[in-house]
Structure 1
Amino acid sequence: MTGLTRRRDRESVREKWDIFHGDVRVGSIGRRAGVPNHVDQWEWKCGFYPGCDRSASGPAVTFDQARAAFEAAWHALLPTLTEADFQVLARSARLDRAQTGDVGARRKAAFSTAIVADALSLRRDL
C-alpha cells in the first residue's frame, strides 16, 4: 500500500502542505487565511476532484492536530476509493500539466516577441 507524503506548496503565501498518495494529491494542511487570532489557525482538507465525490475538512489549533484529523479522515476515505477513482484524477493531472506546459511555451514565445518588438521600436534612423 502506498503511504502518504507531504510537500510544501511553494506557491502559497501562507504555510501550506499538499498531501500525496503516490502521485495523486489527496488533500492539504495549511494555515488559514483571513481568520481572527482567537480562532483555530490551521485547516485540513481530505479528498480530491475529479474522481472522489466524498471529502472532509475542518479547522485545527495546531499543525499536529490538523495532521491527526487528516489521517483519521483519510483512513475513513481510503477504503471507499477504487483504483478507477485514482486513475480519473491521474488522467486529469496529466492533461493539466500538458495544458500548463503549452501555455508556458506560448507565454515564453510571446514574451520574446515583445522584447524584439520593443527593441525595434527603440531604433532610430540617423
Structure 2
Amino acid sequence: MSNVCIKNINHEEVVSLAGQVEIMAGQVVSKTLAQNSAVSITLFAFAKGEEISSHDSNGDAMVTVLEGTGRFTVDGKDYLLHAGETLIMPAKKPHAVYAQETFKMMLVVVFPQ
C-alpha cells in the first residue's frame, strides 16, 4: 500500500494543470490524480465535438474549466463554462459534458462517507 495519495503529477513542483493533459483529435483524454472511497480528482482534455453522455454519480461533482469552453448539462439545464469557472453538479442528478470547442477541465468528485 503506497502512502502517495496524489499520483501522476510531480510533487513539490509548480505545474500547469492544463499542461498535464493533451488534446487528441477524436478523443476525450483523462488523467486520474487521486481515487479512493472519499474523493476522485481527474483531469480531462476534450477534442472539439467530443462528449461524455448523460450519467449520474453518487457524489457531488465539481468541474473547473482550465482552458477553453465546455458545455455542461445538469438535470436538463445547460451551463457554458469558460477557463477559470467552476460548476457543482449535485449527486444523483444526471449530467453530461460537450466540447463545442477544445477544452480542458479538472473534475473533483466528493463521495458521501
TM-score scaled by structure 1? 0.28
Larger Rg: 1
- Higher RCO, 1 or 2 (CA under 8 Å, sep at least 6)? 2
**Given the two structures, how large is their TM-score scaled by the length of structure 2?**
0.30
